[in-house]
Amino acid sequence: MIGLGWTSETATVPDGLRLHGDGPIRALCAPTAVSKTARDRLGMQVRSFDAGIDLLPIAPSHQISSQQAISMMRTADMAPIITQLKTKGQLTLSVQQPQIATDPISDGRSWLAARKNRHDVRANQADLLHHIAALAGRPVSPLRRTNHCVQCDILVERSEADKLKDQLAHHLHGSSGLVEGVISITGLWPPFGFADLQRLGASAA
Amino acid sequence: MIAPFEIAAADLQDTLTRVADAGGRVQIDPDRVENDLARLVLGLMEFLRQLMELQAIRQMEHGYLTEEQEEKLGTTLMRAEAAIHDLAAKFDLTPEDLSLDLGPLGRTI
């Protein structure tokens, strides 16, 4: 079986999933046959979360066995972070940069100018995300970047997520002309951005 | 039986890049030492190249560079990036693979 995360819940889990362990914290696991890809694992984590199970999630891109998940549960002090994340999920703010095909640059000055422009655009996007996230008045994860996207997560109580999402969406709509790229807010997700496996001692697994 | 679950592609990409991923840490696997070392060395080279790029941009912004110096610096950095990416490709590494996780310090790129 494959580990999906850890929980202090003892409630019934969705069909096909199992809780391993008999202590206050248990590992939520799924059969290997149906959790081979990151997409499979993400789907089951979201389904569990939507079913009301508070989860300290393992990143879907990181496949660890149920034995490893149980081992980590026994060696790492997960209780504080599970308590901290209980009844919470995350909203994710993103600025997606459109992928535009451009002519290759062959001279050094133009290349440097293009890089300066890219840095300026990214700094502008980061400033906007920081500003919007600050409006939420909730814990915010550090910014993450991929080639065409910058994101951050906001930790929020499940019960107030819809209201906050609407408020932030309103601010995002009003800010859409201030930066290059498409701004969006998604969620509610399991609190992936606040589950620091390395801090919990992932290497012990 | 587990029911199928549909997620929009953009949402999936959002979520798969969570910081909770421990897979990005520097790890050397005995079965693929060459690739892992290449990733480490090329990642550090790309990190240093990006620092130099930032420094060049800063100098350009402040007007410290002549046109000739901008051309020379830009060409050097551009070719260095292409060379690093070419070398990475020989080890089946993408530019994104060169981002190294330095733990509490964050990622290099």
Determine whether the interchain pair A59/B22 forms a contact, defined as Cβ–Cβ distance below 8 Å: yes
DSSP string, A4-19: EEEES--SPPPTT-EE
Measured in angstroms, the CA of A57 and the nearest CA of chain B are apart by 8
Boundaries of every domain in chain A: 2-86, 88-191
Measured in angstroms, the CA of A195 and the nearest CA of chain B are apart by 5
* Rounded distance between C-alpha atoms, residue A196 and residue A57, angstroms: 9
Q: How many CB pairs under 8 A join A and B?
A: 133
Give per-residue burial for B52-61: e unless 16+ CB within 10 Å, then b: ebeebbeebe
* Rounded distance between C-alpha atoms, residue A100 and residue B49, angstroms: 24
* Rounded distance between C-alpha atoms, residue A156 and residue B68, angstroms: 52
The answer to whether residues B22 and A197 touch, using CB atoms and an 8 Å cutoff, is: yes
* Distance between start and end Cα atoms, chain A: 15
pLDDT digits (tens, 9 = 90+) for A184-199: 999 899 999 998 766 5
Spell out which residues of chain A touch residue B25, defining contact as CB-CB under 8 Å. 198, 203
ipTM of the complex: 0.72
Amino acid B28: pLDDT: 64
Between the alpha carbon of residue B56 and those of residues A161, A176, B47, B80, B107, the distances in Å are: 43, 31, 14, 14, 21
Determine whether the interchain pair B2/A16 forms a contact, defined as Cβ–Cβ distance below 8 Å: yes
Q: Which residue has the tokens 């990733």?
A: B39
> Which CATH number is associated with domain A88-191?
3.30.70
pLDDT digits (tens, 9 = 90+) for B57-101: 999 999 999 999 999 999 999 999 999 999 999 999 988 888 876
Q: In which region does residue A16 sit, left (phi positive, over 0), alpha (psi from -120 to 50) or beta (all else)?
A: left
Which residues, in sequence order, are bridge partners of residue A140? Answer: A154
> pTM of the predicted model, to two decimals?
0.76
Provide the chain B residues 61-90 that lie in CB contact (below 8 A) with chain A.
61, 67, 70-78
Measured in angstroms, the CA of A69 and the nearest CA of chain B are apart by 13
